[in-house]
């Protein structure tokens, strides 16, 4: 009888965690890749929760979610990105990344929620870029706050100007996803073999507009157009899972081998995150060099 009661209580606890948007397995809470403002407010005491505010320092100082830490995403240089061989939005050195994350109380077991801005599509895609970097570094549970800080504040949820005290943690850095980012050589070899997604605006893909960091019109040969802004509503929130699935399936299915790229690595980060984390596509690679690198050494095509 006692055994039956224990089993029943365990089942109830598991069911309640599913309803709350978390599931604990082996002591590690799991969170959905895109979380709502309501979910975050109701789960502020979640085990190992770290809220990262990636807006500018001035925006953070004017008001932020309680206990969130400020790690701004700023182009061309910030804790999240650097320049390498004049290429924008390149990953920082691993040791620098690990040290930075640990200094803000983040380790591989943290539950991280990224809070960004929604002023325009480039502002929105900063959050998935940061999320991708965290996943690359080996953080197990990473989420984006849907609608960012603007939605949180517009709903009258509590904000503060107090800066939290952070206890540093040791970030081991032994869980790097070495297969996530791919090189230009890799992309060259996969033309005609993998599905290549161009996440830039359609006018850039078809050559009507030439962006300043890619001086040739057009796109990588065989690439298909899937502009990142299609995945967001006007208020900067993500479209429903069914709508995102429909967009993705217009290009390929969950078992296809896919490479995503854009201009410099912003828009592509959003599609990598949605395809991999939300829709559970199995074989998605991120060409971080994107059009800025490709156009320096290869031709773009118009078709």
Closest Cα partner for 205 from 191, 222, 188, 182? 222
pLDDT band at 14 (very low <50, low <70, confident <90, very high): very low
User: pLDDT for 49-66, tens place per residue?
Assistant: 999 999 999 999 999 999
User: pLDDT for 150-170, tens place per residue?
Assistant: 999 999 999 999 999 999 999
Q: Is it the case that residue 22 has pLDDT exceeding 80? A: no
Alpha carbons within 13 angstroms on the beta-carbon side of residue 131 total 34
Tokens of 92: 């920082």
% of the chain exceeding 70 in pLDDT: 90
Question: Is residue 109 included in any domain, yes or no?
Answer: yes
Closest Cα partner for 112 from 21, 170, 35? 35
Residues 146, 221 within the same domain: no
What pTM was computed for the model? 0.90
Question: Is residue 149 included in any domain, yes or no?
Answer: yes
The range of the structural domain enclosing residue 137 comes to 2-154
pLDDT band at 206 (very low <50, low <70, confident <90, very high): very high
pLDDT band at 83 (very low <50, low <70, confident <90, very high): very high
Question: Is residue 168 included in any domain, yes or no?
Answer: no
Residues 11, 142 within the same domain: yes
Residues 195, 293 within the same domain: yes
Q: Give yes or no for a contact between 153 and 44, defined as CB atoms under 8 angstroms apart.
A: no
* Number of domains, the chain: 2
Question: Is residue 171 included in any domain, yes or no?
Answer: no
Residues 120, 40 within the same domain: yes
Tokens of 225: 């157009």
Residues 187, 269 within the same domain: yes
What residues contact residue 209 under an 8 Å CB cut-off, 6+ apart? 201, 203
Average pLDDT of the residues in 174-182: 97
Residues 147, 232 within the same domain: no
Q: CA distances (Å), 130 to each of 14, 94, 134, 227, 250, in order?
A: 30, 14, 6, 19, 26
Average pLDDT of the residues in 35-44: 98
User: pLDDT for 229-287, tens place per residue?
Assistant: 999 999 999 999 999 999 999 999 999 999 999 999 999 999 999 999 999 999 999 99
Residues 121, 20 within the same domain: yes
Question: Is residue 159 included in any domain, yes or no?
Answer: no
Residues 126, 253 within the same domain: no
CA dist., res. 114 & res. 127, Å (int) = 6
Residues 10, 149 within the same domain: yes
Residue 261's domain is classified under what CATH number? 3.40.250.10
Residues 136, 76 within the same domain: yes
Question: Is residue 57 included in any domain, yes or no?
Answer: yes
Question: Is residue 303 included in any domain, yes or no?
Answer: no
CA dist., res. 197 & res. 193, Å (int) = 13
Question: Is residue 162 included in any domain, yes or no?
Answer: no
Q: CA distances (Å), 223 to each of 194, 200, 258, in order?
A: 9, 11, 10
Q: Is it the case that residue 11 has pLDDT exceeding 80? A: no
Residues 79, 191 within the same domain: no
Residues 130, 39 within the same domain: yes
Q: Is it the case that residue 111 has pLDDT exceeding 60? A: yes
3-state secondary structure of 272: helix
CA dist., res. 104 & res. 77, Å (int) = 18
């Amino acid at each position: 009888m006692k055994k039956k009661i224990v089993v029943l209580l365990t089942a109830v606890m598991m069911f309640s965690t599913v309803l709350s948007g978390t599931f604990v397995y082996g002591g590690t809470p799991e969170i959905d890749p895109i979380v709502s403002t309501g979910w975050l407010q109701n789960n502020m005491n979640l085990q190992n929760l770290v809220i990262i505010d990636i807006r500018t320092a001035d925006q953070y100082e004017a008001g932020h979610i309680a206990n969130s830490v400020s790690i701004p995403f700023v182009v061309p240089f910030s804790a999240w990105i650097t320049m390498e061989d004049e290429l924008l939005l390149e990953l920082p050195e691993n040791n620098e990344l690990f040290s930075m994350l640990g200094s803000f109380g983040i380790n591989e077991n943290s539950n991280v929620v990224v809070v960004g801005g929604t002023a325009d599509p480039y502002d929105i895609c900063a959050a998935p870029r940061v999320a991708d970097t965290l996943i690359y570094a080996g953080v197990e549970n990473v989420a984006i706050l849907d609608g960012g800080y603007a939605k949180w504040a517009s709903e009258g949820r509590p904000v503060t100007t107090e800066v939290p005290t952070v206890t540093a943690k040791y970030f081991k850095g032994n869980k790097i996803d070495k297969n996530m980012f791919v090189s230009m050589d890799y992309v060259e070899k996969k033309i005609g073999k993998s599905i290549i997604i161009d996440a830039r605006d359609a006018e850039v893909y078809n050559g009507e507009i030439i962006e300043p960091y890619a001086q040739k019109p057009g796109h990588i040969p065989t690439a298909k157009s899937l502009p990142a802004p299609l995945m967001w509503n006007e208020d900067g929130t993500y479209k429903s899972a069914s709508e995102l699935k429909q967009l993705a399936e217009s290009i390929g299915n969950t078992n296809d081998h896919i490479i995503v790229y854009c201009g410099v690595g912003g828009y592509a980060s959003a599609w990598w995150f949605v395809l991999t984390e939300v829709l559970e596509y199995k074989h998605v690679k991120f060409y971080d060099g994107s059009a800025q690198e490709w156009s320096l050494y290869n031709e773009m095509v118009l078709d």
